[in-house]
Amino acid sequence: MKYAILGDIHANIEALNAAIDDARAQGTTHFACTGDVVGYNADPKACLQVVRSLGCKIVQGNHDYYAGCNESMELFTPLAQRSIRWTRRQLSPFDRRFLRQLPMIADIEDFTVVHSSLNNPHRWTYIFRSKVAESSFLNQFNPVCFFGHTHVPLAFVKGPSGIERGFYETLHIRPGFSYLINVGSVGQPRDRNPDAAYAIYDSEARTVVLRRVKYDIEATQRKVRAAGLPFRNALRLAHGR
């Protein structure tokens, strides 16, 4: 099977639709999501509807969690807090309950999906370094785990000689190795490439391919500004950071 692994969509319907169209053109048959369907951008409800229509497993991201509940957001920046408060007003009680009830971790076929780290996933740990990845590997029982949260597509590979870290375009899944793979961000990339990012996992060929897809960034920016969301949310889209 071919799975499109989407993550950090962040209410960007233009990027989401472009990624889905590209995935289907690549022969993808199934979808999964590493969380943060909402937040930052102006189409949270539309993105939720689209992701639900895919029939895919979705795990809870930190923006999903706070958009679904009424808890205070001390760990968020003031701009992120403002975006979440706006998002809460756009969503129906059903939408918010759906977000609250999303699982933290999902096992699918022979791989796992989580938003941040497999150890204490509710702490929303950012995995940039091998030392932090090591703690997640201790709780990884499938050979492959896909995650998000950092918006930067990085892969950590654990083998007999330790953990290797690096950017990737194509990964070949080797027996006896464990893989912790960030799929980048569909809706708000932060690796200085503004194109939407997602990954395709081919469970038969045992490969993971990072895909980058152009979309109508200006349309998304206009919606952000029209909604009264923070201007920085729109500005950063064009720079991929």
CB 210 within 8 A of CB 181: no
How many CA atoms within 13 Å lie on the side-chain side of 219? 13
From CA 49, how far away is CA 226, in angstroms rounded?
A: 21
Instruction: Write the pLDDT tens digit of every residue in 149-181.
Output: 999 999 999 999 999 999 999 999 999 999 999
Is residue 73's pLDDT more than 90?
A: no
Question: To which residue do tokens 């990085």 refer?
Answer: 154
The residues, any chain, with a CB within 8 Å of residue 216's CB and separated by 6 or more, are 14, 18
> Which candidate, 158, 154, 195, places its Cα nearest to that of 18?
195
Query: What is the predicted pLDDT for the residue at 176?
Result: 94
The pLDDT of 214-225, averaged and rounded, is: 98
pTM: 0.96
Instruction: Tell me which CATH code domain 2-238 carries.
Output: 3.60.21.10
The pLDDT of 33-47, averaged and rounded, is: 98
Q: Provide the percentage of residues in the chain whose pLDDT is more than 90.
A: 94
Instruction: Write the pLDDT tens digit of every residue in 192-219.
Output: 999 999 999 999 999 999 999 999 999 9
Alpha helices in the chain (DSSP H): 13-25, 44-53, 62-68, 78-90, 93-100, 130-137, 217-226, 231-235
Residue count of the chain: 241
User: Quick one: how far is CA 132 from the chain centroid?
Assistant: 18
Task: For residue 75, name the pLDDT band (cuts at 50, 70, 90).
Answer: confident
3 state DSSP class of 5: strand
Read off the tokens for 156. 């950590």
